[in-house]
Amino acid sequence: MFEYADIFLKQYKEIVGESVLTSDDTETYSFYQGYPYSVNIAISNSRGTAVVFVPNSTDENTVVELTYPIENYIPEITDDEKENMVIGLAGEGTNSTFNNINLHGSWIYIENSTDSVYCNIDDNSPILLADGIHFNGVSYIDAKTIWREGNITLNGKLVLDKTVILKSSNLKTEWTNEKAVDDSIDLIYKEAIDDIYYKSKLTGIGYYELEELITEYRENEISGFYKVHVNDKWEDRNKIFNKADEYGISQGSVALELSQSINEKTQFEKFLAYMGDIMTIRSLILSLVAFVIWVKGIKLLKS
């Protein structure tokens, strides 16, 4: 687990830190501003694991074992806390998604739902998660203060305020070095896409087209679609960046350099796959020719 966290931090810092950072980048990639990080690991004996990155900290890394499911790592709100707060409703009985979150007062309340939701609050308002909500695939909640009203269900990955990664699985396959690299890149793209969304929303430039693309992208993340269709994930990201570029919305240097690097890698992998297909066909033909020669040779020997 500590190796996963170490690779995650190194990969993120390497990608962002080695880019030519603009003033936009400094604001966009807020996780980068938190270095150095210490790491706290919470492993549930029953279900799931949490990695907590503590910003601006050189404290010793820690690990604890939990007896309860990792979803309960999110604290449950008390009656006193609820009575003293103004609670707003999002969705009000319907399935809340990325593009129809409504804010009232200082709280956002996620209504009971069998679908997961993407919550991103500009002013870091506190969030109260309703009893029975489900989080599937990959979900993000950007808020400094998060409570749950009762039980929630996690099937996949839930990232809280960029610094807490909850996964429903304790299997080593979900916490490999490769996963650490993928998760760090996912965070970088999340920050870049959020920045595009806010700039578009603030100015109104290309907002409806970008909102549609970003909403579809988030819904595919939440549903787990990209876990099976990896190439679609990169293509949908590029659609967002291309559309932002079309409307002159700045994306900073980090996202552009990363996208270019990923595209070059993808093209190379496609080339290798193509060459592999050719070699496979060539091998089959040679095998068939050898088989025919062998059969003819047997017949000649018999004759």
Higher pLDDT, 229 or 268: 229
pLDDT in tens, 29-88: 999 999 999 999 999 999 999 999 999 999 999 999 999 999 999 999 888 877 766 554
Nearest to 198 by CA among 5, 27, 33, 82: 27
For residue 266, what pLDDT band results from cuts at 50, 70 and 90?
very low
* Mean pLDDT on 239-243: 93
55, with CB counted inside 10 A (0-12, 13-18, 19+), is middle
Measure the CA–CA gap between 220 and 214, rounded to whole angstroms: 10
Q: Mean pLDDT score of the chain, rounded to an integer? A: 80
Residue 98, pLDDT score:
31
pLDDT tens-place string over residues 76-85: 988 887 776 6
Distance (Å, whole) CA 41 – CA 65: 8
The 3-state DSSP class for residue 150 equals coil
Provide mean pLDDT across the span 208-230: 89
| pLDDT average, residue stretch 118-129 | 65
Contact of 133 with 117, CB cutoff 8 Å: yes
